[in-house]
């Protein structure tokens, strides 16, 4: 049970996250079992690569045990520049494909072949980029995982 100061911190963090404009609710998985420590390294690399690609990127991420197998996967909130998206807020297909390829490389896959522009890798990692719905409570979503991390069960960070 968090003490009064931790609760105040978590509540403040949750409220602040809710004030931010987000583009996507991403879920990142890997073909290998991942620990929270390896998830941190992966998210640091992915964030930097996304920034290099898009020019700007804000990423809140948090780990959660993977219910389907051993290890962890990553949930997050992602803000990307509007220039990557159409008027409805969806990524243009080539930007989506590039972000998936970037994550695949950051997760450790090696390119096997380029089949007329379709890149084929030796391992299958997955990133699901669901459009952010501002009617959903992003702060509560984040707070659920921050509270788990405080108990030592998970990890989280905000990368600007």
* Position 17 in a domain: no
pLDDT at 2: 60
pLDDT at 78: 95
Query: Rounded mean pLDDT of 129-157?
Result: 77
Q: Is the dihedral of CA 95, 77, 66, 35 positive or negative?
A: positive
* Position 2 in a domain: no
- 32, 71 in Cβ contact below 8 A? yes
The CA distance from 84 to 22, in Å, is: 13
* Site of tokens 């931790």: 6
- Identify which of 46, 59, 65, 57 has the alpha carbon closest to the alpha carbon of residue 125: 46
- CA–chain centroid gap for 159, Å, is 10
* Position 4 in a domain: no
pLDDT at 3: 72
* Position 16 in a domain: no
3-state class (DSSP) for residue 46 = helix
Number of separate domains in the chain:
1
Q: Evaluate if residue 151 carries a pLDDT over 70.
A: no
* Position 46 in a domain: yes
- Identify which of 61, 64, 66, 62 has the alpha carbon closest to the alpha carbon of residue 33: 66
> 150 pLDDT band (50/70/90 cuts)?
low
DSSP letter assigned to residue 152 = T
* Position 68 in a domain: yes
* Position 132 in a domain: yes
pTM score, whole prediction: 0.87
* Position 15 in a domain: no
* Site of tokens 């990423």: 59
E strand or H helix at 118, and its extent? strand 118-121
* Site of tokens 């072949």: 113
Write out the residue range of the structural domain in which residue 34 sits: 24-159
């Amino acid at each position: 049970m968090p003490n009064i100061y931790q609760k105040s911190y978590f509540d403040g963090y949750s409220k602040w996250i809710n004030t931010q404009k987000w583009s996507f609710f991403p879920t990142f998985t890997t073909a290998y079992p991942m620990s929270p420590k390896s998830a941190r390294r992966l998210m640091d690399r992915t964030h930097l690569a996304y920034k290099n690609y898009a020019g700007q990127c804000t990423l809140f991420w948090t780990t959660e045990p993977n219910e389907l197998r051993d290890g962890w996967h990553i949930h997050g909130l992602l803000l990307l520049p509007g220039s990557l998206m159409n008027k409805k807020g969806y990524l243009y297909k080539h930007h989506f494909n590039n972000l998936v390829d970037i994550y695949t490389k950051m997760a450790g896959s090696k390119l096997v072949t380029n089949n007329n522009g379709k890149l084929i890798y030796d391992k299958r990692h997955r990133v699901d980029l669901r459009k952010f719905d501002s009617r959903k409570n992003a702060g509560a979503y984040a707070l659920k995982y921050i509270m788990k991390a405080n108990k030592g069960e998970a990890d989280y960070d905000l990368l600007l």
